[in-house]
């Protein structure tokens, strides 16, 4: 898809101009527009986005900007006593679908009075030509927007229509939802989501009420159980989504603060050391807590032992005295001895007993008969008391070891905290002390909150899985109840079909988005690595589950916040190309003031990148004369398909002929 032309009538400083972008054979599909600041370059881009989306996405201060309808045109209408005037922008796109084109035209009617010009009505239509049915007029606003979204999705317009002055905004936290929504539209995952919602709605609004009418108590109970289970699961899912959103925002804040702190000479190693010390302190603090708990448990245990020792010792001496006097039974299994006596065979060695050995067995039994239940209990108590005495013998060694461990942890923690204090004191001595110190404090707070939210996420996801299983079990019970009622058989089949469909659709949607995200991050980095002039400086691009971006250096550290504007621009371009390639979506690139934030030494490299991109897609560039310097002209000379310059006379922008 490419833009063939943009026709503007009475839009801001434009009266009646038409920009054409032909693709010339043998030339790059790159198009140059030159104009001073204020001559209409950005308003050309605004006219384009207003036509497509109904919004001027690159307008500066809306409160101080000139009104949308051309002021000279308004004065002419007043002189002619005309009450209404129209603004229109028409964008023609070639679609590469049977050589078809699509004209998008947005018009706006203004009521003209002596004091003001007020917008009263706006309308957009589309005309598609070249298809099997010839010209096709599309006047329904929703249908027109569907076609717009198909080729230039609003959610990712910043990656199609670039403002070179705002490159530092392209990977901010606020972009995540736009990127996610755009990816879902381009991969058709949004269509699957709609199908899921429709099926869920059919179950809830059609099948469930019908089943309730039958009055089957078993079905009714099963329905109520399922409804409760689904609500618990959905509520838990909502909670998980909120936590993930919090994590995304906190992660972005931590990364932004890290980059702010790291953005000074000599800080990188110190910051890495500080991060390591923070982790060490966290671990040692937990070890110290456990050591204190062990000491408390140790004291509680041995307090009981020592408190009872005098009584236990006296009792133990009494037992030993009784044992010595023969008042306690030998430690022999009575039933075993009786079995040997009756069989006259030793159960241990298997030998037959002679008279002498049999008498010995009888003697043992006689001694056992002498004992009483009380003496047997005393024997058991003796064993228990000996166990306590053994524990008391280990008191000193155990106490020394616990105190040694606690002392070691305390010393290590003190050393780590002292080192952290030294590192933070160093960081506070750098330029912008107040700002960086504030960033350090905020980083600690945000990191603590992030750790807490990550732990919370794990717990809540566990509960979500549990509630999901409960809902699945409740669904199975409802299916069984329906099958038991022949009158409900058809609704049972409908519900079974819905559940199977939902399972397939949900799985498909997740697989599509996961695969797309993984492919995009790989493709983005592959393209970025080929385009960037700092070879080996970066190791990978991560597109996280919440669609936030990470550009990692060779140490695995996030560097996006400290990248130059040119590097951010290239990353945005790389992502756009990867997004289009991965999703199968094809779009142009339109960049206003592409070199606005690119240093002179990188301009040649940057333009070479855009020339490479123009081999496979349309690239429209609008420069100031200062940007379009000798080096840039040399790069683009005789390689572009179209070139025009703007002039500004008496408040009107025109294309120089």
At residue 218, φ and ψ (nearest 5 deg) are: -65, -45
Nearest partner of 562 among 534, 543, 589, 590, judged by Cα: 534
Q: Which residues pair with 5 in a beta bridge?
A: 20, 92
Please give the pLDDT value at position 265. 45
Whether residue 206 is found in the same domain as residue 295: no
CA nearest neighbour of 48 among 590, 643, 610, 613 = 590
Cβ neighbours for 24, distance < 8 A, ≥ 6 positions apart: 641, 642
Q: Would 234 be classed as within a structural domain?
A: yes
> 443 with 261: CB under 8 angstroms?
yes
Task: Return the H-helix or E-strand segment holding 135.
Answer: strand 134-138
Question: How many Å apart are CA 250 and CA 247, to the nearest integer?
Answer: 5
- Residues 306 and 400 placed together within one structural domain of the fold: yes
Closest C-alpha to 279, from 438, 426, 416: 416
Same domain, 449 and 500: yes
What does the chain come to in residues? 657
Question: What pLDDT does 174 receive?
Answer: 64
Question: In this structure, are 203 and 301 located in the same domain?
Answer: no
> The tokens of 614 are what?
């123009």
Q: Rounded to the nearest 10 degrees, how much is the dihedral formed by the CA atoms of 59, 60, 61, 65?
A: -60
Domain boundary pick from 447, 482, 507: 507
Note whether 476 and 441 are same-domain residues: yes
**Separation CA 402–CA 406 (nearest Å):** 6
In a domain, 317, yes or no: yes
Q: Are 17 and 35 in contact (CB under 8 A)?
A: no
Q: Point out the domain boundary residue: 474, 507, 540.
A: 507
Evaluate whether residue 623 is within a structural domain.
no
Q: Which of 513, 610, 521 is nearest to 569 (CA)?
A: 610
Q: Which among 451, 449, 575 has a CA at the least distance from the CA of 519?
A: 575
Residue 175 to residues 154, 158, 180, 502, Cα–Cα distance (Å): 12, 9, 9, 30
Write out the two tokens for 160.
């199609």
pTM of the complete model: 0.59
Domain membership flag for residue 242: yes
Tell me the pLDDT tens digit for each residue of 44-79.
Answer: 999 999 999 999 888 766 655 678 999 999 999 999
Kindly give the pairing relationship between strand 101-112 and strand 84-94: antiparallel
Which residues are paired to 16 by β-bridges? 9
> Cα separation of 107 and 118, whole Å?
14
Considering only CA atoms, which of 643, 516, 630 is closest in space to residue 192? 516
What's the alpha-carbon Rg for the chain, to the nearest Å? 40
Q: Is the dihedral of CA 185, 188, 192, 195 positive or negative?
A: positive
**Co-location of 256 and 303 in the same domain:** no
Does the residue 261 lie in any domain?
Answer: yes
- CB-based contacts of 58: which residues, under 8 Å, 6+ apart? 42, 45, 46, 49, 161, 163, 592
Number of structural domains the chain divides into: 2
Residues 381 and 456 reside in one and the same domain: no
Residues 471 and 498 in one domain: yes
Cα 387 to Cα 311, 320, 384, 392, 569: the distances in Å are 15, 15, 5, 9, 74
CA distances from 294 to 289, 307, 388, 443 (A): 9, 20, 19, 33
**Residue at which a domain ends, from 507, 529, 553:** 507
Q: Are strands 549-553 and 589-592 parallel, antiparallel or unpaired?
A: unpaired
Tell whether 297 and 402 lie within a shared domain. Answer: yes
Give per-residue pLDDT as tens, 109-168: 999 998 889 999 999 998 888 766 668 889 999 999 988 888 888 877 877 888 776 665
Residues 392 and 293 reside in one and the same domain:
yes
Do 252 and 224 belong to one domain?
A: yes
The domain of 311 spans: 284-329+371-410
> HSE on the CB side for 329, CA within 13 Å?
21
In a shared domain, residues 382 and 499: no
The pLDDT tens digits of the residues spanning 468-510 come to 899 889 888 888 887 777 767 787 788 888 888 988 998 998 8
Considering the domain boundaries, does residue 397 fall inside one? yes
Crossing angle of helices 267-324 and 217-262, rounded to 10°: 120
381 in any annotated domain: yes
| CA pair distance 8, 278, nearest whole angstrom | 59
CB atoms within 10 A of CB 452: 12
User: Does a structural domain hold residue 270?
Assistant: no
C-alpha 371/C-alpha 361 separation (Å) is 16
Q: What is the CATH number of the domain that holds 453?
A: 1.10.287.620
What residue ranges of the chain have pLDDT lower than 50? Answer: 265
Q: Furthest-apart CA pair in the chain: how many Å? A: 144
């Amino acid at each position: 898809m490419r833009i063939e032309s943009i026709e503007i009538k009475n839009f801001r400083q434009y009266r009646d101009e038409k920009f054409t972008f032909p693709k010339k054979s043998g030339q790059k599909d790159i198009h140059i527009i030159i104009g001073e600041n204020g001559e209409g370059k950005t308003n050309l881009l605004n006219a384009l986005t207003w036509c497509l989306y109904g919004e001027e996405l690159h307008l500066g201060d809306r409160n101080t900007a000139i009104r949308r309808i051309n002021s000279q045109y308004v004065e002419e209408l007043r002189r002619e006593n005309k009450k209404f005037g129209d603004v229109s922008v028409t964008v023609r796109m070639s679609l590469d679908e049977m050589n078809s084109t699509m004209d998008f035209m947005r018009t706006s009617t203004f009521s003209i009075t002596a004091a003001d010009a007020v917008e009263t009505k706006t309308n957009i239509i589309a005309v598609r030509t070249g298809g099997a049915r010839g010209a096709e007029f599309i006047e329904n606003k929703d249908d027109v927007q569907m076609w717009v979204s198909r080729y230039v999705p609003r959610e990712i317009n910043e990656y199609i229509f670039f403002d070179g002055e705002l490159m530092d905004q392209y990977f901010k936290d606020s972009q995540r939802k736009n990127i996610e929504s755009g990816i879902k539209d381009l991969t058709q995952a949004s269509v699957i989501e709609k199908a899921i919602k429709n099926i869920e709605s059919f179950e809830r609004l059609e099948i469930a009420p019908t089943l309730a009418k039958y009055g089957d108590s078993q079905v009714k109970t099963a329905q109520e159980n399922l409804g409760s289970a689904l609500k618990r699961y959905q509520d838990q899912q909502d909670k998980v989504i909120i936590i993930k959103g919090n994590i995304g925002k906190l992660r972005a804040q931590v990364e932004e603060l890290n980059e702010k702190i790291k953005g000074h000479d000599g800080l990188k190693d110190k910051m890495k050391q500080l991060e390591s010390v923070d982790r060490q302190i966290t671990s040692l603090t937990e070890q110290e807590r456990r050591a204190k708990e062990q000491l408390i448990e140790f004291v509680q245990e041995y307090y009981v032992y020592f408190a009872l020792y005098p009584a236990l010792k006296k009792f133990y001496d009494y037992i030993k005295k009784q044992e010595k006097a023969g008042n306690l039974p030998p430690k022999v299994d009575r039933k075993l001895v009786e079995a040997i006596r009756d069989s006259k065979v030793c159960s241990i060695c298997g030998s037959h007993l002679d008279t002498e050995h049999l008498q010995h067995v009888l003697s043992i039994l006689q001694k056992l008969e002498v004992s009483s239940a009380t003496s047997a209990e005393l024997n058991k108590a003796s064993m228990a008391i000996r166990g306590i005495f053994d524990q008391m013998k280990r008191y000193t060694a155990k106490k020394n070891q616990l105190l040694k461990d606690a002392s070691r942890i305390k010393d290590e923690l003190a050393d780590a905290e002292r080192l952290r204090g030294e590192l933070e004191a160093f960081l506070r001595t750098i330029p912008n002390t107040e700002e960086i110190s504030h960033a350090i404090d905020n980083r600690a707070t945000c990191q603590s909150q992030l750790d807490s939210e990550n732990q919370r996420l794990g717990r809540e996801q566990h509960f979500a899985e549990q509630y999901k299983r409960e809902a699945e079990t409740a669904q199975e019970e409802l299916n069984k109840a329906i099958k038991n009622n022949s009158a409900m058989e058809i609704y049972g089949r409908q519900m079974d079909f819905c559940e199977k469909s939902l399972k397939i659709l949900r799985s498909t949607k997740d697989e599509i988005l996961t695969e797309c995200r993984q492919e995009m991050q790989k493709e983005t980095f592959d393209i970025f690595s080929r385009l960037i002039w700092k070879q080996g400086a970066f190791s990978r691009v991560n597109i996280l589950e919440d669609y936030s971006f990470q550009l990692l250096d060779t140490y695995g550290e996030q560097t996006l916040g400290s990248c130059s504007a040119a590097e951010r621009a290239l990353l945005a371009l790389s992502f756009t190309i990867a997004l289009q390639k991965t999703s199968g979506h094809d779009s142009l690139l339109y960049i206003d003031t592409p070199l606005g934030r690119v240093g002179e030494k990188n301009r040649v490299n940057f333009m070479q990148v855009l020339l490479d991109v123009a081999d496979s897609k349309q690239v429209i560039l609008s420069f100031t004369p200062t940007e379009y310097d000798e080096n840039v002209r040399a790069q683009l000379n005789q390689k572009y398909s179209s070139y025009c310059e703007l002039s500004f006379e008496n408040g009107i922008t025109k294309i120089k002929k």
